[in-house]
Chains A and B, each alone.
Chain A
Amino acid sequence: MSCDLQAAGTIELYFYGELPQPERAAVQAHLARCAECRAALEDLAVIRAALAKRPDVATPPGGDWSGFMRRLNVAVAAEPSSRGPLDATPVRPLRRQLAPYLAVAATLTLVTFAVLTVLNRRPVPDTTSVATAPPTAGAAGAQPLRQASLTMTNPDPGLLAVSGEHFERSKLVVLGLVTKSGPQDDWAYERDLASSLLGDTRLYRQAAEERGMQPLADVMGDLELVLLQTSMADQPNEASLHQLQRLIRRRDLLTKMNAY
């Protein structure tokens, strides 16, 4: 870039129509004899034309704001200075909508605990990640969490309530994953659900961190990791399924979620 006018950004101001008339006339005269600035002007036109084809996205997918408003409602209601929910349709109706799924989750919980109980009696060595497994893995790891929850200073009851409901919804993913046995099992449903739950999980983790509810934030963080890895599994196969199952086991996620 050797032309001073271009280096100073004057050509852009000319292009945007933001130069006063005397300067504009001077730039026009300059353009007649400066190939570099003419090329710059041409590039700007190409950029504008290309950007005009860029989609103008001003709403969530499908123009559906309901999920956005519901999450915002929960977040605002959990604010320390909250003046109340945004509307009269926040968490409880959602719970009713999810009632059938929660019933399935409860059934799966029972089945899974039965399976886990059997598995715990016959521990299988983790050949790929033993060296990195935390010492608190297993059911015993949940005990400090319960104690930490009880000793949290000023826990926000509203956040605890919505977190409990969120954990119930998330169990559909976690339980679905731990009960699958191999590549013949399709887990597209769990991946889709994980994607839809990820935003809320992040929101609740941040809310817990802001309120000093670290034990809750830690569980949300573990859940966020599982949901993220689940949703990002572009080509779900046996290896990635086993990796997720190990992650859930090592973090003792189900037990921790049940503590709420």
Chain B
Amino acid sequence: MADSDLITRAAGGDAAAFQALVERHRSMVYRVAYQFAGNHFDAEDIAQEVFIKVFRSLDKFRQDAQLSSWMYRIVMNACIDHRRRTMPSGAAPFGEEAEHKMMNTVEDTPGPEERAYAGELGQVLEAEIGRLPPGQRVVFIMRHHQGLKLGEIAEALGLAEGTVKRQLHAAVHRLRHALNGAKVTAGERA
């Protein structure tokens, strides 16, 4: 049965249809959530939030829209909401300006130099991905893990393609910087 049919049925009160919808898309949602959060606990939290939002919005889904795009947008918002909720109290930003800050503020975790002592570039990159601002992280994950093209990401997230390109560029720039720092550190220690 097509997604659009399942949504129509679920919106009409068919619990089995909603369950089928969840079962069909939960792996995609969990995969993105895990790549974003880096652990099962938060990934499950985000994935739960996504499907609750989907449930609340069943009536609003436009039949001519792509379900995957709609769901990606919900996943991205859930990731950012989750990051906001888990920020230290008093630091949670609100409003448009703060939203921009949220999308671009660096996470305060140990820097790549500290991680480089482990000697594994993969670990350095992993740590740096965890430090990416939420907006950059989502775009980067969608490009590298989901293999979506910039246009597809822009459509899915409802952003201009130029914005996606800038977010991705900023993310890659940060990762390259971390990578080069690790190379230098590893070279000094060799």
Footprint of B on A, CB under 8 Å?
1, 9, 12-13, 16, 18, 40, 43-44, 46-48, 50-51, 53-54, 56-61, 65, 68-69, 71-72, 75-76, 79, 81, 83-87, 195, 198-199, 202-203
- B27: Cβ under 8 A from any A Cβ: yes
Instruction: Judge whether A199 and B30 touch: CB under 8 Å.
Output: no
Nearest to B162 among chain A residues (CB) is A9
Report Cα–Cα, A53/B18, bound state, in Å.
Answer: 34
Footprint of A on B, CB under 8 Å?
10, 13-16, 18-19, 22-23, 26-28, 30-31, 34-35, 40-41, 43-45, 47-48, 51-52, 55-56, 121-122, 125-126, 143-145, 149-150, 165-166, 168-169, 172-173, 175-176, 179-180
Instruction: Judge whether A54 and B126 touch: CB under 8 Å.
Output: yes
Which of B15, B56, B166, B175 gathers the greatest number of chain A CB atoms within 10 Å? B15
Query: Given the complex, which residues of A lie within 8 Å of B176, measured CB to CB?
Result: 40, 43-44, 47
Report Cα–Cα, A178/B144, bound state, in Å.
Answer: 48
Instruction: Judge whether B143 and A76 touch: CB under 8 Å.
Output: no
Instruction: Judge whether A203 and B144 touch: CB under 8 Å.
Output: no
Query: Given the complex, which residues of B lie within 8 Å of A47, measured CB to CB?
Result: 125, 172, 175-176, 179
Could you say which of A76, A85, A199 contacts B44, with CB atoms under 8 Å apart? A199
Given the interface contacts A9-B166, A40-B176, A72-B48, does A57 sit within 8 Å of B30 by beta carbon? yes
Given the interface contacts A47-B172, A47-B176, A79-B56, does A87 sit within 8 Å of B15 by beta carbon? yes
Main secondary structure of the interface of B (DSSP, over half): helix
Instruction: Judge whether B15 and A83 touch: CB under 8 Å.
Output: yes
Question: How far is the CB of B140 from the nearest CB of chain A, in Å?
Answer: 9
Instruction: Judge whether B34 and A58 touch: CB under 8 Å.
Output: yes
Instruction: Judge whether A56 and B13 touch: CB under 8 Å.
Output: no
Given the interface contacts A43-B179, A47-B179, does A79 sit within 8 Å of B52 by beta carbon? yes
Instruction: Judge whether B52 and A72 touch: CB under 8 Å.
Output: yes
Query: Given the complex, which residues of A lie within 8 Å of B122, measured CB to CB?
Result: 50, 53-54
